[in-house]
Chains A and B, each alone.
Chain A
């Protein structure tokens, strides 16, 4: 059927078209515009941005708040990504095996993911409350005097990362599904060789899941650099001492609080570059380790 063969690519493009249009209009075009605005003096209030060349780039270099912001984002990344991955992988592997009541545990793990960010953040304001929050009460059981979580830079960073360790549903589901697809006979063969549970985890599960885990790490890195806006805004508003002034928070401040639309666009471009550099480094490392063949 020659007609079918000719029309097949056309059909494929027809199905792709709505998505392609959306990507072009909602992602590619704004990203390009953003890049263009980064070299203007646009405030977001007037309609006549002027081209100012590298002025905004020069301002970047002298901006101490930006340095703090990048530092905050980097520390957050180092805390939150391993914590989230560990939680998603650990819980995914623990709950993959069919067990009585297992489904309730799986629901419990997924539940925080469907709670809106703001609601979760407000909940954590209560959890972290130094006077009556359950976290300090829990610490009190062990004789710890408790902490003023959101008032100290270190503990505030930890608190935000802690909150973001809960909405891990997607990663959890991916690990769960990937683990269930592994051939049970491999584990039986390993058990016959004398390979215990930890040996099986180290020699079978993790290497076999490596491609999925790398994907999750890349995804979580991108996500973590961006989704920290709501918790930081609700919990700390970027404070204390700029410890949680993550890049999205700082960009929001610049664009909407200080009317620095163009400068915000410049920082957004920086965030994209930083994300790109981190992902590239991650993939190079993965190739070096020969995790994927």
Chain B
């Protein structure tokens, strides 16, 4: 008997018409792990969730949940709960009705269902909203309602499809912490989809970077950030993205490859080897981003502390941290 909450995807392939959504995805998720699927839109993140949930069937490959191939298992018999991007709350039912929906369908006794719904609402701090309709609640509250509804399924796996995407920035920050706390308390396997790289870094034990239906890299967020497997991952994780210079150029090094350096690994140094002109300064309060252009036309982004003391038009010299320069193959884009 396999441990509960273990998921294995084996060469999962799925296309919608002519669009290939997934192209041979392999992934093993450990019990209790929180895995973040990240990638640009159309990279196949949500498709993976839909295949695990059973909302779609794979063209090829297997989905194995708790050691069982679930190809023949209908969605509601899989021990998974899904939170949709815009929450998919039933607009004609009160919050209570939304929470009770699944319990009623499963014919749980009324008193017990009420009791469990109340407990879930208490846990997520929405007990005072039970008599409201979804359109009378805020975005953050709706997200909690959707989570409470998922909680009531008592799943061994949670699937969260962009759970923070419809929240505004401050709320997103707080909710991110709440989600982590909840995950830690429940200890249930969670697969979380996002296109936001900050979320990918903070939520999750491991990130899976996807592009065009293929897995580009799997690993702990910091490791993926520090050692991107290819230029796609290097460009996708990190904001602003990594400076990638074909042939090395001003950054020196391999002339037949691509050299990358993150904006924070470049600093202004009067003796630095790279001469550049500042084109723009984006002061972000706690830090500043300099957009510079070198003499050969190469653009480099530099992250500095606040108030860097340089202005557009200034000539600066830059130095890259030698230990943090990345080299990629020019043809495959793979890390060397």
Instruction: Tell me how many residues of A have a C-beta within 8 Å of chain B.
Output: 18
Q: Which of B74-82, B119-127, B162-170 contacts A (4 or more CB under 8 A)?
A: B74-82
The reply to whether B88 and A194 form a contact with Cβ atoms under 8 Å apart is: no
Q: Cα distance A191–B105 when bound, in Å? A: 10
Choose among B77, B88, B92, B106 the residue that contacts A189 (Cβ–Cβ < 8 A): B88
Known contacts A191-B55, A192-B81, A193-B101: A208-B92 contact under CB 8 Å: yes
Query: Does the CB pair A186–B88 fall under 8 Å?
Result: yes
Asked whether A193 and B105 contact (CB < 8 A) given A183-B88, A186-B88, A207-B92, the answer is yes
Q: Find out whether the CB atom of B90 lies under 8 angstroms from the CB atom of A186.
A: yes
Residues in B neighbouring A185, C-beta threshold 8 A: 84, 86, 88
Task: Collect the chain B residues with CB atoms within 8 Å of residue A190's CB.
Answer: 101, 105
A189 to B149, CA, bound (A): 10
Rounded to whole Å, the gap between the CB of A290 and the closest CB of chain B is 10
Picked from A192, A193, A194, the residue with its CB within 8 Å of the CB of B55 is A192
B154 to chain A, nearest CB (A): 12
A203 and B101 contacting across the interface, CB-CB below 8 Å: yes
A-B pairs with beta carbons under 8 A, tally: 54
Knowing A186-B88, A203-B101, A208-B92 touch, does A192 contact B106 (C-beta < 8 A)? no
In the complex the two chains form, what is the Cα distance from A204 to B98 in whole Å? Answer: 11
Q: Are B133 and A192 in contact (CB under 8 A)?
A: no
Given contacts A199-B105, A203-B101, A293-B133, contact A192 B76 (CB under 8 A): yes
Interchain CA distance A208-B105 in the complex, whole Å: 17
Cα of A195 to Cα of B93 in the assembled complex, Å: 15
Contact partners of B55 in chain A: CB under 8 A: 188, 191-192
- In the complex, B216 has a CB within 8 A of chain A: no
The answer for the CA separation of A183 and B88 in the assembled complex, in Å, is 8
Q: B84-125: which have CB < 8 Å to A?
A: 84, 86, 88, 90-92, 101-102, 105-106
* Minimum C-beta distance from A175 to chain B (A): 17
CB pair B106 A188 closer than 8 Å: no
Q: Knowing A193-B101, A195-B105, A203-B101 touch, does A188 contact B88 (C-beta < 8 A)? A: yes
Complex Cα–Cα for A204 and B80 (A) = 22
Which residues of B pack against A, CB within 8 Å?
53-55, 75-77, 80-82, 84, 86, 88, 90-92, 101-102, 105-106, 133, 153
